[in-house]
Amino acid sequence: MTEEKDILYHPFTLGDLQLPNRVLMAPLTRSRSRQPGDIPWELNAIYYAQRAGAGLIFSEATQVSPQGKGYAFTPGIYSDDQVEGWRKVTTAVHKAGGRIYLQLWHVGRISRPELQPDGRQPVAPSAIKPEGAQTYIDEQSGMVDVLEPRALSTEEIPGVVEQFRQGAINARRAGFDGVEIHGANGYLLDQFIRSKSNQRTDEYGGSIVNRLRFPLMVVDAVVGVWGIDRTGIRVTPTGTFNDMHDDDPVATFGAFAKELNDRGIAFIEVVEDSFQGNAVNGRPEAVIKAIRENFKGAYIANGNFSAEEARQRIDAGLCELVSFGRLFISNPDLPKRFREGALLNDPDESTFYGGDEHGYTDYPSID
């Protein structure tokens, strides 16, 4: 297929940012920040610059505060050293001709006291332990079970919104092109949105309107920093990772999409299958339809797509763009490989989290 006819290589304007193709790099936790301090560094700059051929790179999930941390060695965006570290990354990506958004993250209950300031209890909308959820606290312990969290008080919630706002400010200082709010995969915003994890009885729980209140406060705070054209959000309407479930995802995420549409943000990235190996039967077409009907900005589809499946979904009008995760880990030049029909490198799962350049910056390109 010629590039002119291949929809994956049609340019797209996302908000007010011109993308050269529709092959986006999904946010991918790799746990390789410099220690102490969870600081991005030169190794991360090399990794992201290698993948600058993506239409747009979403950075790995990045904690907006010490309280927002849930895994060892993940980067932050709350200290001056972290901002300067991320500036090395954005400079390298831009020098290589790429575009990169920061993903703003607060894990909520998916943490442990060992990872929290002063050994405190992780926070959540409700004091409900996520059954089966685990996190990575250090190289010696490996993956360990998550414990019961502490419910945020009503009075604390504006302070968490402020953590996201300050993270957005710091992302601007670090030279990013925009931001994606992490509202997916069973982390804090997702915990508020979905009915199983949110059992509150105040104005932040119960009805769909109440469960969406805190996430929308975060969106409004971030838009106040970046504007609507450079702000988006990621969601997992039917994902079960981290013990997540919603009683009516069509209604919940249809309503959320409408609220986001009313605000005019640039995009929603939707994880269309479950996450981390939790199988579902096909893609949640009813939820996708509800989001598409209520949100007129760009829809970015994610979920183990092949290049051909991505083309089919775009051609069918089910999305405008597609983000790829695992394939970008092992194929730094993924858009070029898709365009040329080249063989793809297989990812080495044993090197996904933590470690050095092995399984990180040493995957070969076709050149």
What residues contact 212, with CB distance under 8 A and at least 6 apart? 192, 193, 252, 255, 256, 259
Tens digit of each residue's pLDDT (9 = 90 or more) over 201-240: 999 999 999 999 999 999 999 999 999 999 999 999 999 9
Q: Does the predicted model carry a pTM greater than 0.75? A: yes
Among candidate residues 136, 187, 299, 360, the one labeled active-site is 187
The H or E element containing residue 95 is helix 80-95
204 is catalytic: no
Domain 7-351 has CATH 3.40.430.10: no
* Residue 253 neighbours by CB under 8 Å, 6+ apart: 193, 235, 237, 246, 287, 290, 291
Identify whether the C-beta of residue 41 lies closer than 8 Å to the C-beta of residue 85.
Answer: yes
Comparing CA positions, the residue from 201, 212, 210, 202 lying closest to residue 237 is 212
What is the reported pLDDT for 281? 63
What confidence tens digit (pLDDT) does each residue in 79-118 have? Answer: 999 999 999 999 999 999 999 999 999 999 999 999 999 9
In the chain, what are the domain boundaries? 7-351
